[in-house]
Structure 1
């Protein structure tokens, strides 16, 4: 009797251990988690003169006190804008740009212009510059890591660059999803 009880207890314990191991193997990491981005690097290259570049960085390693470069561009000029994203809390820094490229069908970068800092998205100005995305995802929707920015007249205000995380609902618009990172650069066009 004791032998049967021991075998039954052993079998029950083994079944629990196997079930626990099987559950762990089937668990998937949260693939829809927002990206960890501490640093954004914008590189504007004048389309008429590739030697003329403007580089601006936004860096927030502590989560509340970013260091931000001012952007100064020429009026009535087209720039190729390349955006690079990093998590510099890791050593070496993790390049998030590649993840955004690989998960292009889940991400969209927006470049918006405002006369006031922290303005509502609905208040973005279309009269400052025309932004044309150059990179597309598998569904032919823009990603926005590579864009052309055609400035118009003189302007003083802000450029907001936002990475929107839009798994399962990306449609090309700002609305769906959540924000991976939102940056705001002082901007002068002259």
Structure 2
């Protein structure tokens, strides 16, 4: 009887310790898979035919949504030209500045960066224009899906509208499309092709 009681007590104690350990492990990183904190996005366009021809544009929203309006540079590209565009992402609220780009690369299977064109600001993603330029992602995550921090952009004819960069956070759901997940940042640049 005592032996059976001791065995039962050991099983109950072991089970209790197992569930406590699992719960503690879950509590260790409550922000895992949280959206990235982003205040600044920098785009660098390099003309593939002339590396000295560069266009740099920044979008900054240091105080976040509801504060001051973001500061935004315009993007003006040449018609019928192919550029490589590099996307750098930062959190400038901390010191030293946090280079979020490295985090996005590290967690590539959870992120997708979209470069889109629109006739007007605040348009639905479904209204993105495909006749303005061809965007081809150059970088991929470890599963072979596009990441989108580096792209070629082949412009077409003259255009005036909006260039939009959206970083999607898609842990456990990334499939190469826009739909799954949530948005880390949604930026809009005044845009023209001349």
The separation in 1 between residues aligned to 2:79 and 2:50, in whole angstroms, is 14
CA drift at 1:155: 0.3
Q: Secondary structure at the match of 1:185?
A: strand
How far does the alpha carbon of each residue in 1:74-117 deviate from its partner, in whole angstroms, 9 at most, with x for none? Answer: 00000000000000000111000000000000000000100000
Whole-angstrom CA distance in 1 between matches of 2:84 and 2:71: 23
Length-normalised TM-score, structure 1: 0.87
State the 1:139 CA deviation. Answer: 0.8
Q: Aligned pair in 2 of structure 1 residues 22, 151: CA closer, same or farther (>3 Å)?
A: closer
Gaps of 5+ in 1: 1-18
Mapped partners of 2:176, 2:133: distance in 1: 19
Q: Does 1:105 align with 2:109?
A: yes
Counterpart of 1:86? Answer: 90
Q: 5+ residue gaps in structure 2?
A: 1-18
Give deviations 1:2-29, integer Å, cap 9, x for gaps. xxxxxxxxxxxxxxxxx99996565231
Q: Deviations over 1:32-81 (max 9, x none)?
A: 10000000000000000001100000000111310000001000000000
The separation in 2 between residues aligned to 1:96 and 1:25, in whole angstroms, is 26
The residue correspondences of 1:35-46 to structure 2 (distance < 5 A) are 35-46=36-47
1:113-153 deviation line (CA, Å, top 9, x unaligned): 00000000000000000000000011100000000000000
Structure 1's consecutive aligned runs of 4 or more residues displaced over 3 angstroms after TM superposition are 19-26
The equivalent residue for 2:162 is 158
Residue 98 of structure 1: SS of its match in structure 2?
helix
Per the TM alignment, residue 31 of structure 1 is displaced from its structure 2 partner at its CA by: 1.4
The alignment's C-alpha RMSD in Å is 1.6
Q: Residues of 2 paired with 1:52 and 1:185: CA distance?
A: 19
